[in-house]
A and B are shown apart, each in its own frame.
Chain A
Amino acid sequence: MSLTPDQLQRIALLARIAVSPEEARGVTDRLNQVLGLIDQLQAVDTCGIEPMSHALDAQLAVQQRLRPDAVTEPDRRAEFQAFAPAVEGGLYLVPKVIE
């Protein structure tokens, strides 16, 4: 698989990262180097192999813990918003989304 600069722009949009037209060529080239590396996986026969999504699931019966459905955290909004880029009246400010 190899990406074109146009395909890169689509991925960059999904990732919410601006890639300028000037950098697009270089970024695409490097990404294609990495894709060349990971393309080696296509040749591996994994028929009947279960995907491993947890680091210990191969060896240990890992059970997802559940906790009681109770409030455990106090309200620390003012503290958390103290270092936010833009807040007003306890709300996070973002550019206007709807007209």
Chain B
Amino acid sequence: MLNSTVIELSDALASKKVSSVELTRLFLDRIKGLNGRLNAFITVDEERSLKQARVADERRSGKGNSGEAGPLTGIPIAHKDIFCTKGLRTTCGSRMLADYASPYDAHVIERFNAAGAVLLGKTNMDEFAMGSSNETSHFGPVRNPWDLERVPGGSSGGSAAAVAARMAPAATGTDTGGSIRQPAALSGVSGLKPTYGVVSRYGMIAFASSLDQGGPLGKCAADLALLMNAMAGFDARDSTSLERPAEDYGRELNLDLRGLRIGLPKEYFADGVDADVLACVREATRWFEAQGAKTVEITLPNTGLAVPVYYVIAPAEASSNLSRFDGVRYGHRAKEYADLNDMYRRTRAEGFGTEVKRRILIGTYVLSHGYYDAYYLQAQKVRRLIAKDFADAFSRCDLIMGPTSPSTAFVLGAKTDDPVQMYLNDIFTIPAPLAGLPGLSIPCGFDGKGLPVGLQIMGNYFAEAKMLGAAHRYQQATDWHLRAPKETPL
């Protein structure tokens, strides 16, 4: 059961082979056994989860009044602690919100509740989603189930580690510069960042609003499609939510790979990428060629500028978004202060961690008088050049493939003293959100140390179904995605 996909668990629930209460207990016990070592969950409320499971079982047997059962009814799902949950604390990995109990549910949570899914717990994350290693969390780092001395990636590190260690069949995450795809790659799971505007940001604590997008993490592409069917959809409460007809994200799972044009950006296969990572990714692209797909070399010439652009735009938006944490309406307030200004300054100095403060300061600087044009406006212009690179590339190919991350999971503490080294690690995941494009990562092998390698598949706007189709076809022929970490045996 622990190693089953959501689709298999859904079938087992439908055929009464297992109840949602049994399934939920199984995963709650697994969390209890492993969380002390992995620290993947910040909050678990067993009673609440089991109550939801009982309601789901009633719904599955046609009793109760919660409507007809769907494929996710009774499936336990872990949620990144950035999604507000009514009656269950939402910390965003920060001391600022360590005791915050949201008065409402995020749209994504509402959707899973309506589908009858069971909320298994809230997963650990980099503070306010700012980080690539899950080391900036106020609640301590998450450990990679493949090697406990290594990071799981971030910022959705708890969600990725939870799925990898089979503590949850699937999880939600958010991606601003790679926070779904990079931890998926480093932890050996599958993860999708949808096109900007497809998943509502309502109740998803804001980091950089022109980039933030929620998405699913799971064992396989077919599961991601199922989760997307629940998560995606118009929501009037998010001003950037797109009004589009509902789509079945699983409709292209049997994608015909013959004639599919796969673009391989030369900048993604360059020096600076681990040899083992390149070897695994190349082998995967050769598999697609063997199925009749055509690979074409493309260029995304402004790739090297994506990280600098991101570290102007994301901090600028963060400095504005995080100004709401002032110790007045919610969250932490300093105990001692001289006056109102001092209360703000001490509250924020105490409530935010080092990385969050660093980004707020950068954002404040690039938006300040005299620097706005040189930094912020210039970054917005280069952002358009990056989007244009993709527009040109997609005139020559249907999908783009390359490594998700230039390296596999690194050792805890290895990059914490050098923010720029940490930032550069996201070079291949930052471009897609800058352009608003969807991207996914699936496991495609292991390096010499036995650490998982991620294959990134990017598509044009709203090409999620096609990307998931290509990923699913690959996963039907390979078993990388079904391998469980040896540190957390089944």
Residues of A within 8 A of B (CB): 1, 3, 8, 11-19, 27, 30-31, 33-42, 44, 46, 49-56, 58-60, 64-65, 67, 76, 79-80, 82-86, 92, 94-97
Q: In this complex, what residue of A is CB-closest to B384?
A: A52
Contact call A41/B308, Cβ cutoff below 8 A: yes
- Ordered by A's residue number, 15 sampled pairs between the chains whose C-beta atoms are within 8 Å are A12-B345, A17-B357, A17-B360, A18-B342, A30-B358, A41-B309, A49-B384, A49-B385, A51-B380, A53-B210, A55-B240, A58-B387, A60-B461, A85-B333, A97-B339
B311 & A37 in contact (Cβ 8 Å cutoff): yes
A16–B342 CA distance with the chains assembled, in angstroms: 8
CB of A34, distance to nearest CB on chain B (Å): 6
A-chain residues with CB within 8 Å of residue B112 when the two chains form the complex = none
Rounded to whole Å, the gap between the CB of B353 and the closest CB of chain A is 12
Judged by DSSP, the binding face of A is loop
Closest to B417 in A: A30
Contact of A34 with B385 in the complex, beta carbons under 8 Å: no
Tell me whether A55 and B337 are in contact in the complex, defined as CB-CB below 8 angstroms, given that A34-B362, A76-B103 are known contacts.
Answer: no
**Smallest CB separation, A86 vs chain B (Å):** 7
Which listed residue (B99, B381, B391) contacts A46, Cβ 8 A? B381
Q: Are A8 and B361 in contact (CB under 8 A)?
A: yes
Given contacts A11-B364, A16-B348, A80-B329, contact A34 B357 (CB under 8 A): no
Q: Which residues of B contact A39 (CB under 8 A)?
A: 308
The answer to whether the Cβ of B490 comes within 8 Å of any Cβ in the partner chain is no
- B307–A37 contact, CB under 8 A? yes
Binding site for A on B (CB under 8 A): 99-101, 103, 195-197, 210-211, 236, 239-240, 242-243, 304-305, 307-309, 311-312, 319, 323, 326-333, 337-346, 348-349, 352, 357-358, 360-366, 368, 371, 374-375, 377-385, 387-388, 391, 418-420, 423, 433-436, 461
In-complex Cβ contact of A65 among B239, B304, B326, B384 (8 A): B239
User: Quick one: given A41-B305, A56-B436, are A16 and B344 in contact (CB under 8 Å)?
Assistant: yes
Assuming A37-B423, A41-B379, is B341 touching A16 (CB within 8 A)?
Answer: yes
Partner of A84, one of B329, B368, B380, B382: B329
Q: Which of the residues B242, B332, B361, B461 comes within 8 Å of A11, measured between beta carbons? A: B361
Q: How far is the CB of A74 from chain B (nearest CB, A)?
A: 12
Q: Find out whether the CB atom of A44 lies under 8 angstroms from the CB atom of B387.
A: no
CB <8 Å contact, A15 and B319? yes
Given contacts A38-B308, A53-B380, A84-B328, contact A58 B361 (CB under 8 A): no
CB distance from B369 to the nearest CB of A (A): 10
Give the nearest-CB partner of B344 in chain A: A16
Determine if B381 and A50 form an interchain contact, defined as CB atoms under 8 angstroms apart.
yes
Contact call B349/A86, Cβ cutoff below 8 A: no
Residues of the A chain whose Cβ atoms lie less than 8 Å from the Cβ of B331: 85
- Identify 16 new A-B residue pairs, CB closer than 8 A, beyond the known A18-B346, A34-B358, A42-B378: A11-B364, A15-B363, A35-B365, A37-B423, A38-B311, A38-B312, A39-B308, A49-B384, A50-B384, A51-B380, A54-B240, A55-B197, A80-B329, A84-B328, A85-B328, A96-B339
By a CB distance below 8 angstroms, the chain A residues around B242 are 56
Are B343 and A95 in contact (CB-based, < 8 A)? yes
> What chain A residues lie within 8 Å of B383 (beta carbons)?
51-52
Would A52 and B387 be within 8 Å (CB), given that A11-B364, A97-B340 are in contact? yes
User: Does B387 contact A59, Cβ atoms closer than 8 Å?
Assistant: yes
Interface pair A37/B308, CB less than 8 Å apart? yes
Q: Which residues of chain B are near A80, meaning CB under 8 Å? A: 103, 329
Contacts of B388 in A (CB 8 A): 58
Closest Cβ of chain A: how far from B335's Cβ, in Å? 10
Within 8 Å CB of B420, what residues of A?
A: 33-34, 36-37
Residues of chain A with a CB closer than 8 A to B309's CB: 41
Please report the C-alpha to C-alpha distance between residue A59 and residue B361 in the assembled complex, in whole angstroms: 32
Instruction: Tell whether, in the assembled complex, residue A67 and residue B436 are in contact, meaning their CB atoms are under 8 Å apart.
Output: no
The reply to whether B364 and A55 contact each other, CB–CB distance below 8 Å, is no
One of B357, B364, B375 near A14 (C-beta < 8 A): B364
* Nearest A-chain residue to B196, judged by Cβ: A55
Partner of A44, one of B323, B340, B385: B385
Select which of B101, B304, B319, B344 is within 8 A of A83 by beta carbon: B101
Name which residue of chain B comes closest to A33, CB basis: B420
Q: Which of B99, B337, B357 contacts A95 (CB 8 A)?
A: B337
- A86 near B378 with CB under 8 A, answer no
CA distance A16 to B101 in the complex (A): 25
Most buried by B among A35, A56, A65: A56
- For A14, the chain B residues whose CB sits under 8 A away are 364, 368
A55–B435 touching, CB < 8 Å: yes
B387 and A92 form a contact (CB under 8 A): no
Between A65, A67, A79, the greatest number of chain B beta carbons within 10 A of the residue's beta carbon is seen for A65
Question: Which residues of A have CB within 8 Å of B243?
Answer: 65
